[in-house]
Amino acid sequence: MQLAAKHFKASASKALLDAQLQKALGNVEKGFIGKRQKAADALPEFDALRDNARDIKNHVLAHLDLYLEEYERNVVAAGGHVHWAETAEDARRIVLDICQKANARTVTKGKSMITEEIALNDHLTANGIEPVETDLGEYIIQLRGEYPSHIIAPAVHLNKDQVEGDFRRVHTHLPEGRDLSEPVALLSEAREVLRKRYFAADVGITGANFLIAETGTSVIVTNEGNGDLTQTLGKVHVVVASIEKIVPTLEDTAQILRVLARSATGQDMSVYTTFSTGPKRPDDPDGPGEYHVVLLDNGRSAMLGTEYQDMLRCIRCGACMNHCPVYHAVGGHAYGSVYPGPMGAVLTPSLNGIEETGQLPNASTFCGRCEAVCPMRIPLPKMMRHWREREFERNLTPLTSRYGIRAWAFFAKRPRLYRLAVSFGMPVLSLLGGKSRRLHSLPFAGGWTRHRDLPAPEGRTFLQEWAQREALKQGSGH
Amino acid sequence: MSGRDTVLGKIRASMRVSGPDAERKAAVASRLRDTPTGVIPARADLPAAGQQELFCAMAAQFGASVARVNDYREVAAEVSAYLRAHNLPAEIRIGADPRLKDAGWDLEKNLELRHGASDGGDLAGVSHAMAGIAETGTLALLSGPDNPTTINFLPEHHIVVLRESDIKGDMESVWAMLREQKGKGVMPRALNLVTGPSRSGDIEQTIILGAHGPRALHIVVVA
Ligand code: SF4
CATH of residue A170: 3.40.50.10420
A217-222 and A272-276: which strand pairing? antiparallel
How far lies B6's CA from each of A296, B9, B116, in Å? 12, 5, 45
Rg (CA), chain B: 21
Contact yes or no for B24 and A63 at CB 8 A: yes
Q: What is the pTM of this model?
A: 0.88
| Residues A226, A230, A231: CA angle, nearest 5 degrees | 125
ipTM above threshold 0.90: yes
Number of structural domains chain A divides into? 2
In a domain, A453, yes or no: yes
B136 CB neighbours in chain A (<8 A) are 268-269
Tell whether the model's pLDDT for residue A430 goes beyond 70: no
Q: What is the pLDDT of residues B86-145, one digit of tens each?
A: 999 999 999 999 999 999 999 999 999 999 999 999 999 999 999 999 999 999 999 999
Beginning with the edge strand found earlier in the chain, give each strand of the sheet holding A106-109 in spatial order.
A81-85, A290-296, A236-242, A203-206, A106-109, A130-133
Report residue A214: phi and psi, to 5°: -55, -35
In degrees rounded to 5, what are phi and psi of residue A368? 85, 5
- Domain boundary residue, one of A298, A330, A354: A298
CA of A353 to the centre of ligand 1 (A): 20
Cα end-to-end distance, chain A, whole Å: 63
Q: How many CA atoms lie within 13 A of B31 on its CB side?
A: 24
User: For the range A423-429, what are the long-range contacts, defined as Cβ-Cβ under 8 Å and sequence gap of 24 or more?
Assistant: A423/A461, A423/A464, A426/A457, A426/A459, A426/A460, A426/A461, A427/A459, A429/A456, A429/A457
**Residue A345: inside a domain:** no
Nearby residues of B73 by Cβ (< 8 Å), 6 or more positions away: B102, B103, B104, B107
Using the Cβ of A331 and the Cβ atoms of chain B, whether some distance falls under 8 Å is answered with no
At B84 the pLDDT is 97
Domain shared by A292 and A415, yes or no: no
- Which pLDDT tens digit goes with each residue over A137-193? 999 999 999 999 999 999 999 999 999 999 999 999 999 999 999 999 999 999 999
Rounded to the nearest angstrom, the gap between the alpha carbon of residue B171 and the centroid of all alpha carbons in its chain is 11
Q: How many CB atoms within 10 Å of residue A476?
A: 7
Residues A211 and A64 in one domain: yes
Give residue-wise pLDDT tens across range A237-273: 999 999 999 999 999 999 999 999 999 999 999 999 9
Name the residue facing B203 among A90, A163, A249 (closest C-beta).
A163
Give CA torsion, residues A84, A86, A87, A92, to 10 deg.
-20
3-state secondary structure of A101: helix
What is the rounded average pLDDT of the residues A447-475?
57
Please report, for chain B, the start and end positions of each structural domain, with discontinuous segments joined by +. Answer: 1-34, 46-222
Report yes or no: B8 at the A interface, CB cutoff 8 Å.
yes
Question: Which residue's alpha carbon is at the smallest distance from atom 2 of ligand 1?
Answer: A374
Cβ-based neighbours of B70, under 8 Å, separated by 6 or more = B222, B223
- Torsion angle, alpha carbons of B70, B73, B76, B78, to 10: -20
Give all strands (DSSP E) within A277-394, no chain letters: 290-296
User: Are the CB atoms for A32 and A26 separated by under 8 Å?
Assistant: no
Best residue in B200, B206, B208 for a mutation probing chain A (most A CBs within 10 Å): B200
- Determine if ligand 1 sits within 6 Å of the CB of residue A311: no
Please judge whether B136 and A270 are an interchain contact, meaning their C-beta atoms are less than 8 angstroms apart.
no
pLDDT for A477 equals 42
Please, which residues have CB within 8 angstroms of residue A364's CB and are 6 or more apart in sequence?
Answer: A324, A326, A342, A345, A381, A384
Q: Which of A437, A432, A436, A412 is nearest to A422 (CA)?
A: A412
Task: Tell me whether residues B212 and A188 touch, CB distance under 8 A.
Answer: no
Nearest to A83 by CA among A240, A311, A221: A240
Neighbours of A22 (CB within 10 A): 16
> Which residue type is seen at B84?
R
CA nearest B189: which of B124, B145, B137, B128? Answer: B145
pLDDT band at A468 (very low <50, low <70, confident <90, very high): low
The C-alpha of A257 sits at a distance from chain B's nearest C-alpha, in angstroms, of: 10
Architecture of domain B46-222: 3-Layer(aba) Sandwich (3.40)
Confidence of residue A443 (pLDDT cuts 50, 70, 90): very low
Q: What is the 3-state secondary structure (H, E, C) of chain B?
A: CCHHHHHHHHHHHHCCCCCCCHHHHHHHHHHHHHCCCCCCCHHHCCCHHHHHHHHHHHHHHCCCEEEEECCHHHHHHHHHHHHHHCCCCCEEEECCCHHHCCCCHHHCCCCEEEECCCCCCCCEEEEECCEEECCCCEEEEECCCCCCHHHHHCCCEEEEEEEHHHEECCHHHHHHHHHHHHCCCCCCCEEEEECCCCEECCCCCCCEECCCCCCEEEEEEEC
Same domain, A288 and A421: no
pLDDT band at A469 (very low <50, low <70, confident <90, very high): low
Q: Which residues in chain B have their CB less than 8 angstroms from residue A214's CB?
A: 32, 35, 185
Q: Å from B151 to nearest chain A CA? A: 10
Q: How far is the CA of A314 from the centre of ligand 1 (A)?
A: 5
Residues A281-301: what's their mean pLDDT?
A: 97
Q: Give the pLDDT confidence of A57-80 residue by residue, as tens digits.
A: 999 999 999 999 999 999 999 999
Q: Work out the pLDDT band at A456, boundaries 50, 70, 90.
A: low
Phi, psi of A86 (to 5 degrees): -75, -35
Q: Is A195 exposed, middle or buried (0-12, 13-18, 19+ CB in 10 A)?
A: middle
Distance from CA of B177 to the nearest CA of A (A): 12
The Cα–Cα gap between A159 and A331 comes to 13
User: Which residue among A257, A278, A298 closes a domain?
Assistant: A298
CB < 8 Å from B in window 119-148 of A: 134-137, 140
Look at A187 and B200 and tell me if their CB atoms are within 8 Å. yes
Q: Does A110 touch chain B (CB under 8 A)?
A: no
Distance, in Å, from the CA atom of B126 to the CA atom of B160, rounded to the nearest integer, reads 6
Question: Does residue A81 surpass a pLDDT of 90?
Answer: yes
- Give the residue from A246, A269, A298 where a domain finishes: A298
Q: How far is the CA of A329 from the centre of ligand 1 (A)?
A: 19
Task: Give A371-432 as a DSSP string.
Answer: HHH-TT---HHHHHHHHHHHHHHTT-S-HHHHHHHHHHHHHHTSHHHHHHHHHHHHHHHHHH
Probe target for ligand 1 pocket from A61, A150, A303, A378, with the most ligand atoms within 8 Å of CB: A378
For residue A144, give its domain range: 43-298
Mean local confidence (pLDDT), A18-41: 91
CA distance A331 to A78: 42
Per-residue pLDDT at A475 exceeds 90: no
Q: Are B190 and B143 in contact (CB under 8 A)?
A: yes
Nearest to B222 by CA among B60, B73, B57, B65: B73
Tell me A273's DSSP state: E
* Bridge partners of residue B93, in order along the sequence: B114, B125
A413-428 confidence digits (pLDDT tens): 555 555 555 555 555 4
3-class SS at A272?
A: strand
Residues A276 and A134 in one domain: yes
Q: What is the mean pLDDT of residues A187-206?
A: 94
